[in-house]
Amino acid sequence: MASTADFDAALLALRPSVAATLPPDALPGADDLLHRALRPVLKLLNARLLRVVADYALDYRLPLGTAAPADQQRLLEELLRRNQRLQHTVVGLVTALLTADEYAYYRQHRPEMNRRLLELARQRVLTQVPDVVALAASGT
């Protein structure tokens, strides 16, 4: 059975590098977790995140294929802001890839970290609306 340290090392090895906007001597905290963990994990999960959102759009029969681009963006933004099941799914996908220390910090600051995580996910999806629409149209 793998140790927590081995598992954490494997998780860190999976993450793509993301240019951090924090100085290297920044104090640990919400911004640190945001830049050093949440952003890389969301980048790693980008394709899965888009697929999950497309699946929810299909489940809720959003007319993405026939809507104008501005309406597609609005529909997806509303889905991401209002659908609690989708929000919980996104949070679960991301937190599953946090190290033990990151998850411990996340648990202590769950409301703030969820707010930040969901905002990052929303931004990521809304910059890729055509990809989500294409995934929803393909249905696969």
Q: What is the pLDDT of residue 2?
A: 66
Q: Give the residue extent of every domain in the chain.
A: 28-138
Q: 99 Cβ partners below 8 Å, 6+ apart?
A: 8, 11, 12, 37
User: What gap in Å lies between CA 25 and CA 21, rounded to an integer?
Assistant: 12
**What does the pLDDT read at residue 16?**
83
pLDDT for 59-108, tens place per residue?
999 999 999 999 999 999 999 999 999 999 999 999 999 999 999 999 99
Determine which helix (DSSP H) or strand (DSSP E) holds 103, and give its type and residue range. helix 100-108
- Joined together, the tokens standing for residue 93 give 């996908």
Please report the pLDDT score of residue 20 as a whole number.
55
Q: What is the pLDDT of residues 7-62, one digit of tens each?
A: 888 888 888 877 655 455 544 577 778 888 899 999 999 999 999 999 999 999 99
pLDDT attached to residue 32: 78
